[in-house]
Amino acid sequence: MSAIRPLQREDREPLHRLLAATGFFTPKEITIALELIDVVLTKADQKDYIIFVHDDGRRVLGYYCIGPTPGTDGTFDLYWIAVAPAAQGKGVGTMLDAHAHEFIRSRGGRLVIAETSSQPRYAPTRKFYLARGYTEVSCIRDYYRVGDDLVVYGKYLT
């Protein structure tokens, strides 16, 4: 049975493999994602990162990592959302995004911010956000490197 549930210790390696398999993330980005996963797994009292996993009862199909944006009232960052290649296009990302929105609302959240790259390989990511009601709120040219802009999306939940 398919479920979205909090991150568990045994999810770390399947998530590592999932992140690598997507082909979207650089080794450095995967290292950062794993660092956040490790924070959630090892520091039960931390409040900066919240991770939920989608599994089908046999394997991990995707996950998201969110957190309240420091210094704001009701703004959350969507740090990571990733779906296994075999599960892409089957609604897993949509379910994860909807779950994140419900969770954020339950914590008094009103705005979700998601950042991505302008590179062509991230076109499906940008399309994903737009199809789910996010709006491009800013673009910072040459942010990651020359020719690689930071594209910021926002979605109000109220």
Q: What is the pLDDT of residues 22-76, one digit of tens each?
A: 988 889 999 999 999 999 999 989 999 999 999 998 999 999 999 999 999 999 9
Which CATH class for the 3-113 domain? Answer: alpha beta
Q: What is the pLDDT of residues 122-145, one digit of tens each?
A: 999 999 999 999 999 999 999 999
Q: What is the pLDDT of residue 1?
A: 67
pTM score, whole prediction: 0.94
3-state helix/strand/coil string of the chain: CCEEEECCHHHHHHHHHHHHHHCCCCHHHHHHHHHHHHHHHHCCCCCCCEEEEEECCCCEEEEEEEEECCCCCCEEEEEEEEECHHHCCCCHHHHHHHHHHHHHHHCCCCEEEEEEECCHHHHHHHHHHHHCCCEEEEEEEEEEECCEEEEEEEEECC
Domain residue spans of the chain: 3-113
